A and B are shown apart, each in its own frame.
Chain A
């Protein structure tokens, strides 16, 4: 007999190049948790080009009971209208109660379009999702540049949410889990669309994935300062980050920028060097596990969020740190 469910939860995965963006598994992790509380069925939607069966099976191992697979050239680029058209059609047929989408640039561009088409509510960039005693979804999201947390409820169906990357836990993989893969034919929308004419600057650095970030700010004084930070970052297996000023000054690329208008990061260790700590910067890094701050100004706001702070000149302190770390590494080997 077929299992009956009280709810249906959709997770939109992101298939890029040849694999899933890690947010896909984080969404499944949270989706499974919600599905268990609501006696719901968890479904994963895959829209990509040349998607292998094996990769769809992985979605089942991580909790999906059904996988809707669209394999088409229409999805080889992040063309929102192609995705919207097919997703809206599927939602109208399947009538899910909840749809989770990653709050990536792609997800945040697509989700509002889908929500507007379905005339339903959408909550942006959630950092947590809870089910209350009435069985309703509480969507928790920062607003006012991270100064407040709003708890949002949606009156319409489906409840749509974009979920921030790297805040939800990936569930346990279970190779014994079985589910079905349903292949759907992708439809080309007739509505007017944009034209993708070029792609460049394929990003290698995704600072949000780094476990250790050594960031520099205005206090570096010059672009060369980043060489020193790079040396420290390399020793710790990390990457170099930046506050807004060095990016604006052209000292370092935008992909390194941490903060409200750059990347939100949550590494194991964040070392802020010569960064005073504007609200915009703090909004992007204050959830790091441990924060070390180095700044000449003892009243710099960065010290308020730091676990360890050293008041002093970074050009004295960092070379010394590098020296000590190297010495310990030598002793160890």
Chain B
């Protein structure tokens, strides 16, 4: 058996370094290097581990600007056999619905697949919506917040899903979409050899015209998006007393007073 696995990948700015323009609320993308969304690395590692056990073919699929090719090359260094970037000016400015619509169209074009893996959310959008929206558009089930892949065979996969009240063990027949949390594994770093190999391999770029027959162009990008960002603001930091003590006794006195004011002691 060999499983056909699609991993959804997004290129995001390094959230530790990225800066924002306080006046306009704009993101200064030049302030931080772009990388694969950290949660997607767990999805990719899960795909690689499954392939190592039972064999398979991994496709990294992303939608983004031309420079997102570098994220997909990185994905290939980390184990993807094939990579596809959906890139077109028409796709730009998409919200989660339009993004999932476009990704689902590409997956329909890919045709045969067993498993779609994605990360719990992205560090820039923070929505965690695209996975389930893709699954609904493809009319396949999804399992979210997967912290452990328990077992898999040629017909189905068993995972642990972290819900609010408990952990649930869920068995799903293929095709299914699985969204993983950071707990599912520890992504390996690619070796230099992997990186060199990936540099030479090709990322396929599909434009809107390549999705002909799978997509209604009124439903993609900014104009196809049901939601729009109306305004962006940098949150006002809460006022903090900001009293820093280097002298223990003095600090302790203040803190004990605070605890008393809050009726905690």
Contacts and interface: CB of A to CB of B under 8 A. Distances in A.
Q: Categorize the interface residue count of chain A.
A: 35 or more
B264 A269 contact: yes
B111 interface: no
A278 to B, nearest CB: 8
8 contacts: A112-B128, A112-B131, A148-B235, A203-B164, A269-B264, A305-B238, A310-B251, A329-B265
Given A138-B230, A143-B126, A203 B166 contact: yes
A135 interface: no
B21 to A, nearest CB: 10
Interface-central residue, A115, A125, A193, by most chain B CB under 10 Å: A115
A237 B263 CA distance: 11
A144 B241 contact: no
A321 interface: yes
A291 B133 contact: no
Given A124-B128, A197-B158, A298 B144 contact: no
Contacts of B143: 194
B195 interface: no
Interface of B: 15-16, 18, 20, 25, 27, 39, 95-97, 100, 120, 123-133, 135-137, 139-145, 147, 158, 162-173, 176, 181-183, 225-235, 237-238, 240-246, 248, 251-252, 254-256, 258-260, 262, 264-265
Interface string A310-333: 111000110011001100110000
B109 to A, nearest CB: 19
Given A124-B128, A147-B15, A154-B226, 4 more contacts: A125-B126, A152-B227, A195-B172, A197-B169
A194 B243 contact: no
Nearest to A109: B144
Interface-central residue, A16, A124, A268, A280, by most chain B CB under 10 Å: A124
Given A17-B165, A109-B145, A261-B182, A308 B18 contact: no
Interface stretch (A26-34, A76-84, A175-183): A76-84
Given A106-B163, A151-B233, A200-B169, A307 B227 contact: no
B164 A308 contact: no
Contact of B230 (A105, A151, A199): A151
A236 B123 CA distance: 34
A115 B158 contact: no
B124 A143 contact: yes
A167 interface: no
Interface string A124-152: 11000000000000100111111111111
A286 interface: yes
Contacts of B227: 121-123, 152-155
A306 B264 contact: no
A117 B226 CA distance: 13
A235 B265 contact: yes
Given A116-B137, A148-B235, A194-B171, A309 B20 contact: no
B127 A124 contact: yes
A115 B164 contact: no
A57 interface: no
Contact of A116 (B133, B183, B230): B133
A16 B96 contact: no
A328 B263 CA distance: 12
A113 to B, nearest CB: 5
B27 A144 contact: yes
A121 B225 contact: yes
Contacts of B27: 144, 148
A147 B129 contact: no
A49 interface: no
Contacts of A305: 237-238, 240
